[in-house]
Amino acid sequence: MRREFATLGICAVFAAVILHGHVFGAVAKVLTTVFGGGDEAAALKLYAQDRRTQEVSNGADPLPSLQDVVVHWASEKAERRLVVMGNSQTYAVILAPGERDPGVPVQTYVDLVGSRIGTAGKANVYRLSAPNLSYAEALWYVTYLSLVAPVKPTDLVLQLNYESFRKSGIRDGMLGLLRDPAFARAAAETARSATPFGAAFEQAIKRYRELEGKSGPTGDAKASAPAGFGEIAEVAIRKKMDAVGIGTEKHTAKAEFLNVLYLLRVHVLRITPTTPRPLAGAAYEGSVSALDEVATRCRAAGITVRLFLAPQNPGARMWRTEADRDRYRGAAQSLSSKFGLRLVDLENKVPAEQWGVWIDGPDPIHFGLKGHETMAAAMLSSGLF
Amino acid sequence: MQFSSYSYLLFLAAAVLLFWALPVRMRRVYVLVASLLFYASWGVSLVVLPIVISTVTYGCARWMLQRPERKRAGLVAGIGFVLAVLVYFKYRVFLLSGLANLFGWSGSAIGGPLAVVLPLGISFYTFEAVSYLLDVRQGRVKEVKYVDLLLFVLFWPHLMAGPIVRVRELVPQLGFQKVFAGPMLTAGVNRIALGLVQKNVFANSLGGWVEDGFVPRLARANSTIDVWALAVAFGLQIYFDFAAYSNIAIGSAHLIGVTLPENFNYPYWAGNPSEFWARWHMTLSRWVRDYLFFPVNAKYSGRKGVLYLSLVLIMSAVGLWHGAGWGFVIWGAMHGVYLAVFRAYQSWRGLDVPGAKSGWAAGLVVRAITLVGVVAAWVPFRAASLEQTAVLLKTMFAGMDFRISYSVNFYLVTALLTLYCVAEPWLIRGLEGIEGRAKGSAAWGWGVDLVLRPVLWSLAVVLFLAFDDQDTIFIYFQF
């Protein structure tokens, strides 16, 4: 019997070693060494941060940032309040060949545009972005800005990106907006609509309830079942675990484990960030309907919407076939025509040598330092602002 | 307390330690109190209903034993009460809505508050009560004890979602006479560790994608490949979810020296519909077989048409048992049709049935055909409406759109877990082989106990911790 208890003891030691020793992280490093791949140092870590002009959590917990910026807008009283919304292309830098980490906080193209417009006139540019932003998430944000925020933006400059049309759903981090009762009411109303984006809102609200421990023990019981003492104990235990740091450790372990799986996908299955993807089906339909609603809500709230087609890396096109590309461009054109929105095509504005290099070669999403400058210049000259 | 929650794992550790510390004579009452505490953790008022059902069952069972000439009346009264409770809590809205639709009544004409709280596990403990009464009627239970009956119904590892045990399996173990032995701990932790990974890592990882893909408003936007992938993903999700629950239940019982029956035996390896039901939710299958199908079979053994029809009707009822919705009924009916067709084929050919024992190539073909049928049947089970079911099944079998709509990771994870399912029997057999070898060799024994097992358990613990952010309830808790 002693041996069985020894097994349990050794198991506890091993588990602690895996968690604290970042074993999955070490495996990821081994995979990168064995298979080769992008230099992690190429992904810059140090960025200029300003809560008045950026949603600094990048979708991880945007409510405090949005509440802050609304207060800022109210105090600044600028003539125009422009929100730029897009994916990680708007806030991340992957160094291009020959570029070096400047070692100081860098500005991305939205920052550069904002600082130039801000000094030239009475405009305030705010970057509201998130990695892999879906258009359901864009609508989630627009719902807050158009229906809830006490001071609304005057303009929305929305990035249209091939990859974003393939995304669906609303991430956990953004669910925090439901803490605002006015937003929760607006989101619930949208969730009731018989639309694809209504389904995304419905899922998000359901997930928020799960995470907050507000759901009852069964689907039928949700409305009336009180939280049992088991649930109260569970919440207390989880809080205690977070307090002693296990919460952070397990999140890190998950991220590192998923990274191992990702690297195996890239190196073993050869499904890389630059592998072309088709554009069709539910995610695409959902994106189109969400964008339609973004335009409708902005029009109702008096917010001017402008669209731009995000740059594509000439060395790493994302569409699998020309038909996929046509579907993407067609959706953008159709949205622009339907609502009379200005649409600017910046697809080829950043030359190949200014894009980052990552894992399997040219990064399909992010540009280097020079690329951001080029993009800022292109945006300023395009009339988007 | 969900089985995959920290609160349950702490409860279990404390309950097991105290169990072995107590003298044998106190263990029965202790397990009963622990079971009530476990159930009350969801809501204190919940414990009333299983106690009432057990008490009425006890009264009817005693009456049946004391008045053998009135056995039938006791049985009808007992089962009638239990089923009435089940219908009231689980099927009231379904039935009244159906009647309202049929006769054009307005909602107010139905009367009364429709949203009654569905007590957790009601489908399971009512089945236990019914099987107890049937066993008394058939003479399998000679003596009725109230505490035995309460423990039989309320025993916490199987209370919420099975395994559905038989009186003769569980009651003889409820004396809790065993002396603690190391292998009980090992066997229990093995099953619990496997269950925690199956739930948190496998089932929950697919759950989000399945949830997104089965949104009714997007049904028509899914391509043929999407719907097949979604149906396979749901089949994997529900398998891992329910197998996880069963493993944790069996493991928890092991820790106090009780052996519960197995619920799964690699069901997606089945070579025909009959074999599928001998491998999937095995304790429900044998319940249905022994208490429903065998009596019907005995009565109509010469009339094949009636037997085939009874198969479809019985399986439809099994579907309805899973949930108050037409989708569940269709799922059951599809399986009933599969079983009836298979029986007819058996009857026609008079040959050995195609199944797991067929030759390699033939076995692969029959398994593939069975799998297609099983996967297709998951669609009505998961879909939100009959309309969505029709759209998805049409896309699966008549669609010609082979583009993929979702993240490539969804298809990859589904494929990876499918491969795991294929390899699972060999993996488990391999581990059992190593354990068997360890019993005959001291060096292997030390290696297994001090290296292999700690490595596997610690990986399970870390993955369970890492993937615990999805607070998703076990699917079968809803049935």
Whether A142 shows a pLDDT value over 90: the answer reads yes
Please identify, among B142, B161, B177, the residue that sits at the C-terminal boundary of a domain.
B177
CB proximity B455 to A under 8 Å? yes
Which residues neighbour B92 within 8 Å (Cβ) at sequence distance 6 or greater?
A: B114, B116
DSSP conformation letters of A22-39:
THHHHHHHHHHHHH----
Chain A nearest-CA distance from B245, in A, is 16
Residue type, A204: A
Q: Which of chain A's residues have a Cβ under 8 Å away from the Cβ of B404?
A: 278, 280-281
Asked if residue B418 has pLDDT above 70, the reply is yes
Structural tokens at position B124:
């399971």
Rounded percentage of chain A residues whose pLDDT exceeds 70: 94
Domain annotation covers residue B156: yes
Residue B331 and residue B355 in contact, taking contact as beta carbons nearer than 8 Å: no
Predicted confidence at residue B329, as pLDDT, reads: 94
Looking at residue B229, what is its pLDDT?
A: 95
- Residue B257: name the closest of B342, B311, B157, B179 by CA: B179
Give the CB-side neighbour count of residue B379, counting CA atoms within 13 A: 25
Domain A37-168+279-382: CATH architecture, name and number where available = 3-Layer(aba) Sandwich (3.40)
When the pLDDT of each residue in chain B is averaged and rounded to a whole number, the result is 87
User: C-alpha distances in angstroms, A34 versus A31, A118, A263, A264, A268?
Assistant: 5, 48, 11, 11, 11
Q: Which two tokens stand for residue B445?
A: 């024994």
* pLDDT single digits (tens) A251-293: 888 888 988 998 899 888 888 888 888 888 888 888 999 999 9
Determine the distance in angstroms separating the CA of B359 from the nearest CA of chain A, rounded to an integer.
Answer: 32
Mark whether B165 and B219 lie in a shared domain.
no
Of the candidates B387, B254, B45, B217, the residue with the CA atom closest to the CA atom of residue A136? B217
Beta-strand pair A155-160/A80-86: parallel
Q: Two tokens at B344? A: 């007819």
pLDDT digits (tens, 9 = 90+) for A187-242: 999 999 888 888 889 889 988 887 776 333 333 333 334 568 888 888 888 888 88
> Which residues from B are below 8 Å from A250, CB to CB?
462, 465-466, 468
Residue B43 lies in a domain: yes
Q: Are residues B374 and B261 both part of a single domain?
A: yes
Number of domains in chain B: 2
pLDDT at B230: 95
Does A36 or A279 have the greater pLDDT score?
Answer: A279
Domain shared by B57 and B119, yes or no: yes
pLDDT tens-digit map of B346-384: 887 765 555 556 677 888 888 899 999 999 999 999 998
**Chain A residues within an 8 Å CB radius of B7:** 230, 233-234, 237
Range in A10-19, A179-188, A266-275 the model is least confident about? A266-275
- B84 and B10 share a domain? yes
| B221–A269 CB contact, under 8 Å | no
Instruction: Note whether A8 contacts B185, CB cutoff 8 Å.
Output: yes
Domain boundary among B145, B177, B209: B177
User: Is B112 or A159 the better-scoring residue by pLDDT?
Assistant: A159
Residues B96 and B241 in one domain: no
Q: pLDDT-based confidence at A305, cuts 50/70/90?
A: very high
Distance from CA of A195 to the nearest CA of B (A): 6
Within-domain flag for B380: yes
| Domain span at B231 | 180-271+354-479
Contact A382, A308 (CB under 8 A): yes
Is A281 within 8 Å of B230 (Cβ atoms)? no
- Dihedral sign, Cα of residue B265, residue B227, residue B403, residue A257: negative
Compute the mean pLDDT over every residue in chain A, rounded to the nearest whole number.
87
Tokens of B212: 């997104």
Residue B56 sits in the same domain as residue B105: yes
Q: How many CB atoms lie within 10 A of CB B15?
A: 21
As given in the structure block, the two tokens for residue B268 are 């997606």
B131 and B74 share a domain? Answer: yes
DSSP labels for A135-175?
HHHHHHHHHIIIII-SS--SEEEEEE-TGGGG--S--GGGG
Among residues of chain A, what percentage have pLDDT more than 90?
Answer: 49
d(CA A250, CA B468): 9
Domain finish residue from B177, B208, B241:
B177
Residue A282: which of B117, B189, B226 has the nearest Cβ? B226
CB-CB contact of A283 with B226 (8 Å): no
Same-domain status, B158 and B213: no
Query: Which residues of B are designated catalytic?
Result: 322
Query: Would B349 be classed as within a structural domain?
Result: no
Whether B17 and B34 have beta carbons less than 8 Å apart is answered as: no
Q: Of the candidates A277, A279, A262, A278, which has an alpha carbon nearest to the alpha carbon of residue A360?
A: A262
Nearest CA-CA distance, residue B406 and chain A, Å: 6
Q: Does B262 touch chain A (CB under 8 A)?
A: no
CB B189 within 8 A of CB A12: no
Same domain, B152 and B264: no
Q: Do B150 and B186 have their domain in common? A: no
From A316, A272, A332, select the one nearest A135 (Cα to Cα).
Answer: A332
Q: Are residues B126 and B244 in the same domain?
A: no
Residues B205, B169, single domain; the answer is no
B108 burial level (CB within 10 Å; 0-12, 13-18, 19+): exposed
Report yes or no on B314 lying in a domain.
Answer: no
The answer to whether B261 and B157 have CB atoms below 8 angstroms apart is no
pLDDT tens digit sequence for B238-261: 999 999 999 999 999 999 999 999
Q: Are residues B478 and A219, on separate chains, in Cβ contact within 8 Å?
A: yes
The interface predicted TM-score (ipTM) is 0.81
Domain boundaries, chain A: 37-168+279-382
Closest partner residue to B405 among A195, A213, A284, by Cβ?
A: A284
